[in-house]
Structure 1
């Protein structure tokens, strides 16, 4: 989920040295230096959606303060605003996921005015230099764009002495992001502009939480026109194949069928056709069989095992040994074991070679190490060299804050053992009759399975006539495939224009 990968990283600005122990008592400690927010602007132009657009690119720091005015968090946003400024023009606020991922992926891969060119056909990105190109698929022709790096991601950071617990959590993060959005709206005179909010992977979780902060409060509400969800994860039970949780196997099965189809392990007229067959089997005979547990009759077990084998390309013997329950990690290793290959988690089109072929799970995810270097190089080059942002900090494309994350909602939902934020989207839609939801899913994404997104957004309380689903022939970051980047751009553009 752009991604549920973590590595520790927390950056702080230097503060003045503390007073020595033997200093005179009447001398107070030197106060921490006040951080002056850095703001850099460039006036540029480009052709997006077939239109020539003059725009102002601004990369700047927003400082959040705590008790006593202490500067606690420095949040970096990168905005692209058409010139001359039009207050009635839509503005699209977006971020990536993780938690711990910077906005580099959506900014340099999908919607920003520049993009990094990496292979479109599921080959790895190789070595630099990586071309940074004009992006005609940017949405600047229909909306101003604001990319947000939440605390602990990108160049954003917590200051020395700030407790990470104040910012690293479901609710804590949402409050900070909502505050940054309100500040941007106020500073840029955009209170009456149509507003779209969205993200990728955990960014869709964040969208549900931020929408609650913006629209669910009785003071200073910010009305939203649309939520744009890319590679959605709202109900986390679907990603936890712990013993007894059968739902995780049900929602992942259609992904297995799609991946098996892509790699020639099953036959079908199209990926759409095999996905639909797998959906119907998963929610029907397969779910029924799993729920029966050890009471499952032998004849029914045999029939389910045979169909499961046909859909996944795995042998009946292997499925029997796995008790009909194959985790995604096992599937990555097993599907192409006969070819000595593993498949990707973020994008099952990618393949990799492990140290040996006898293992239970892959050494790594070829669909992540196949793209990460290009994106990291691109965002650093663009922000530092082209936009002039000055910092000694490293850009955290995938940071380490996930391990410190507070996953509790803390809102009276008992033990919060079942984490599902989809009801917040339903609540926002019921309270705002014009709020619409756009959901984009890749067929080959195991990090946030498409059937799981469909399940989450099909629950009670979510108006179905205002939810739009679109599908793409790639994985988690479907925009790495050229055809799907163009399709995603066209689909989101249509969604914004149809307001």
Structure 2
């Protein structure tokens, strides 16, 4: 009887172990689900397929060590796939999923939100009548630990250690290297080598795609037609010190204008009339004054402070108390302090309420809570119910990728080098005037500094919008930003037989 009990116990243990393994949350390393759809874009009927799935990241021995989750939209009512552009889309963070541009900007379905971008209930999504899917196929890629992308176990059930993951994936150079390999495999599998190719990145995604442009050329021998930088980071382009401080002022002015915190004469102007005046003052007077630091003449200090206060909506006392260098967090807290409100970081149109009016920074970012409010239920419902991809893995809006190795960030220079090597490569900057995290004037400055020679300035362009970091959340800017992107794609495809050469 004792032996029998031991045997039954062993069987029970095996059954429990098998049940535990079967119920362990995991993602398929290499799979896909395809669904068929149709919609109207800019009044034209478009039929398309959506491929949702995973594709491996391999190590040097050809064994899978991770898998990336993606969604690939292809227009199905076209004949010549070789001439059809492919747009490869990344968000940023680092550690952010592709959800933001996927279901709010270029994809065929977008959030149910109000016309200014605020969440509404019931949550959901609707057709995007301005998606660029009419002119380009789109793949939305989730880097490791974002979306459903994960590190996967080997044949023995072992995963890379946290330190090994950091060394392979979580840094400026590491991120670019493994993603370039992944893109090569994707383009090969889906037979898109002949297609004009574009990268689009938002926020840290601009660092990613700027670096990928050269990595794809030099290591994968894949040449691009365009790179789109949405709300760009510095990409390793130096803009510290007085430049960093001065470049904030046009953003301050835009935000203060939006909240009617400027004097009557400035409020009477349209935003597009106001900003050139502020930009001119910033470059011609404010930046030189900041450069002189403590040795500026006192009368000039007072004069500059009064003008900065006039354009920023802050008091002269606050500007002088900041030594003319206004901290961003202080601005978000102080601009509407008397109204009992704070303004958002990524989009200063959004308002917050703090526990106390005193203090130097807001308690929370009002815009981010509003966005997560709308995006999280929408993407989870959409993937499972419309794209029919089912998994018990949690969709990481933001995933664990930190600490991030930011050393050797030369991605802006890498993009310049890629442009120099490839006469067909064009670059578009897109930025919202109310973005305080990656402000629009920094984006302009980076564009000016990207190619010091000026020989490629005709291949660099900038578009600004009356919204924030995710400028496409505002309905008018969803329409305009997609139209600007569509125009950029179509205009950067060479004529048939045109040679890539310099005269």
Q: TM-score with structure 1 length normalisation?
A: 0.87
Partner of 1:191: 193
Is 1:470 aligned with 2:469? no
Correspondences of 1:38-57 after superposition (within 5 Å):
38-57=31-50
How far 1:68 sits from its partner (Å)?
3.6
Is 1:153 aligned with 2:152? no
Correspondences of 1:327-342 after superposition (within 5 Å):
327-342=327-342
How far 1:238 sits from its partner (Å)?
7.0
Partner of 1:287: 287
Indicate how the Cα distance of structure 1 residues 238 and 310 shifts in structure 2: closer, same or farther if over 3 A, else same.
farther
Instruction: Give the alignment partner of residue 457 of structure 1, picking from 440, 443, 447.
Output: 447
Partner of 1:423: 413
Is 1:258 aligned with 2:225? no
**Residue aligned with 1:448, SS:** coil
Instruction: Give the alignment partner of residue 112 of structure 1, picking from 84, 101, 107.
Output: 107
Partner of 2:434: 444
Distance 2:299 2:135 in 1: 57
Is 1:224 aligned with 2:224? yes
How far 1:95 sits from its partner (Å)?
1.1
**Residue aligned with 2:192, SS:** coil
Partner of 1:407: 406
**Residue aligned with 1:424, SS:** helix
Distance 1:212 1:78 in 2: 24
Correspondences of 1:49-448 after superposition (within 5 Å):
49-84=42-77, 86-121=81-116, 123=118, 125=119, 128-160=121-153, 161-162=159-160, 163-165=164-166, 166-217=168-219, 220-235=220-235, 245-266=241-262, 267-268=266-267, 269-401=269-401, 403-409=402-408, 419-448=409-438
Distance 1:248 1:378 in 2: 37
> Residue 254 of structure 1 contacts residue 279 of structure 1 at CA under 8 Å; is this kept in 2?
yes
Distance 1:36 1:200 in 2: 26
Distance 1:194 1:379 in 2: 29
How far 1:235 sits from its partner (Å)?
4.2
**Residue aligned with 2:139, SS:** strand
How far 1:131 sits from its partner (Å)?
2.8
* Structure 1 residue runs without a partner (length 5+): 1-19, 21-32, 410-418
* Higher helix proportion: 2
> Residue 122 of structure 1 contacts residue 349 of structure 1 at CA under 8 Å; is this kept in 2?
no
Partner of 1:483: 476
Indicate how the Cα distance of structure 1 residues 130 and 237 shifts in structure 2: closer, same or farther if over 3 A, else same.
same
**Residue aligned with 1:404, SS:** coil
> Residue 234 of structure 1 contacts residue 420 of structure 1 at CA under 8 Å; is this kept in 2?
no
Distance 1:120 1:406 in 2: 38
Distance 1:235 1:172 in 2: 15
> Residue 39 of structure 1 contacts residue 58 of structure 1 at CA under 8 Å; is this kept in 2?
yes
**Residue aligned with 1:183, SS:** helix
**Residue aligned with 2:231, SS:** strand
Distance 2:117 2:35 in 1: 34
Runs of 4+ in 1 over 6 A off after TM superposition: 237-240
How far 1:71 sits from its partner (Å)?
1.8
How far 1:400 sits from its partner (Å)?
3.0
Corresponding pairs, count: 450
> Residue 91 of structure 2 contacts residue 97 of structure 2 at CA under 8 Å; is this kept in 1?
yes
Distance 1:305 1:34 in 2: 57
Distance 1:357 1:286 in 2: 29
Q: Is the deviation greater in 229-238 or in 368-377? A: 229-238
> Residue 227 of structure 1 contacts residue 435 of structure 1 at CA under 8 Å; is this kept in 2?
yes
**Residue aligned with 1:214, SS:** helix
How far 1:84 sits from its partner (Å)?
4.8
Indicate how the Cα distance of structure 1 residues 34 and 105 shifts in structure 2: closer, same or farther if over 3 A, else same.
closer
RMSD, matched Cα = 1.9
* Structure 2 residue runs without a partner (length 5+): 1-13, 15-25, 154-158, 493-503
Indicate how the Cα distance of structure 1 residues 47 and 482 shifts in structure 2: closer, same or farther if over 3 A, else same.
same
Indicate how the Cα distance of structure 1 residues 179 and 235 shifts in structure 2: closer, same or farther if over 3 A, else same.
closer
Indicate how the Cα distance of structure 1 residues 315 and 89 shifts in structure 2: closer, same or farther if over 3 A, else same.
same
Any idea what the Cα deviations from partners look like across 1:15-47, whole Å, max 9, x if unmatched? xxxxx9xxxxxxxxxxxx995512111011111
How far 1:75 sits from its partner (Å)?
0.4
Partner of 2:496: none
Distance 1:299 1:134 in 2: 58
- Of structures 1 and 2, the larger Rg is shown by 2
